[in-house]
Chain A
């Protein structure tokens, strides 16, 4: 049996609480991140991802504390992102208990930081988080956005994913900003386009609403599927998602 398709609940953390909105606005409180992390672990989550969307340094410190507390109780891999732009940022997160770190705007601003981080901590430690949306302005039809999808970065999303791998990232987290929070399904064409461009593991994110949404994302080339809304508000359990993926003929881990 090959490596299992990973199911990854994502916790957007703001000021120590899990929040979730639609297209990154209208944030709703979704609970305590440490408690939610433990629940997802018990449900069979294969990893957890924390994205710190705090704007202030106070918020960042609170998130570090959340990472520390979660890492004390949860024995599955923990990825943390949000505001990462330097080797020192990564060092702080790893020391707090993160296993992997996601980088987004920091890499757009200065792509060389990818190599600086991966030469120090290894390729496996760094996930390139790509917030992309459909755009006729880019060759692939997909463009990178920043500021929670509100601003175009002027970069082709597929070319950026390829560049990230060349610079050294060990994994791509591809988030469709058109689909994010809509629960209308993954952007399968975007997943397939990035899959064709890179060989590192690919995590598909954005738009999951029903169990039926997940197997097509895997068929399109995702090694892992990430979702927030459906898990936080009790629409789906990790187990139901795994059942759907397994029923479609893909391997999953049964906890």
Chain B
């Protein structure tokens, strides 16, 4: 891996969303060099890109558009460059999101609507288990671990065609997408950067694909 922030292994995309430093540290912990930037060119060219995300869906999409994020993500998918999206970063990859009755367009890589979960107890906050599919590389070695979730919205339906591996989780009987692996684009609804050693292993699994 190349040293130095001038040519980092991984770019963490800074588009005004919170939680950037912890994503940056989680990548650095794997030994990869990492740069936090809002520069679209750097995000496009980096061997690996992390798209974090905390807060409201529409606000995240507005922030992402302001730095050219949707085009960067689409171009990286087309070019086969590894990209890891986290929490709202995961949610904005779908068709749209509905929060407080307002529907906002997402990046639309995957079909589906991000909707409020049905559980009485929200946010879904804390460490939960996942159902990872066989053949998962993202959850290699940690499929039986718990991960830290904090969200009130999720995607309930996603087809699983050849080449798309979907990991599910459940909160109070509501089943939703906890992670997706499709080609170079991987995502998690939970926060691997806050999921202790299990999260570190998962991030390392992703860094190994770069």
Contact = CB atoms under 8 A, between A and B. Distances in A.
A3 interface: yes
B196 A123 contact: no
Interface in A1-53: 1-4, 6, 41, 46
**Chain B CB within 10 A, most for which of A3, A4, A71, A170:** A3
Interface stretch (B35-43, B61-69, B106-114, B117-125): B117-125
B200 A1 contact: no
A77 B125 CA distance: 11
Interface stretch (B89-97, B142-150, B156-164): B142-150
Contacts of A6: 126-127
A208 B122 CA distance: 26
Contacts of A170: 123, 125, 150
Contacts of B152: 123-124
Contacts of A200: 121-123
Contact of A125 (B18, B22, B26, B121): B18
B19 interface: yes
A247 interface: no
**Chain B CB within 10 A, most for which of A1, A46, A99, A123:** A99
Contact of A3 (B55, B149, B200): B149
A76 B22 contact: no
B21 A46 contact: no
Contact of A75 (B55, B124, B200): B200
A97 B21 CA distance: 7
Give chain A's interface residue range (CB within 8 Å of chain B): 20 to 34
A112 interface: no
B198 to A, nearest CB: 8
A46 B126 contact: yes
Given A125-B18, A199-B120, A75 B172 contact: no
A77 B149 CA distance: 10
B60 to A, nearest CB: 10
A75 B128 contact: no
Contact of B126 (A3, A75, A97, A199): A3
Contact of B199 (A71, A75, A199): A75
Q: What are the 8 tightest A-B residue pairs by CB atom distance, in nearest-first order?
A: A253-B127, A3-B126, A122-B55, A4-B127, A253-B146, A3-B128, A124-B150, A201-B125
27 contacts: A2-B128, A2-B171, A3-B171, A46-B126, A71-B21, A72-B25, A75-B26, A75-B200, A76-B194, A76-B195, A76-B196, A77-B194, A94-B19, A97-B21, A97-B22, A121-B54, A122-B54, A124-B123, A124-B125, A124-B152, A170-B150, A199-B120, A199-B122, A200-B121, A201-B126, A223-B125, A253-B127
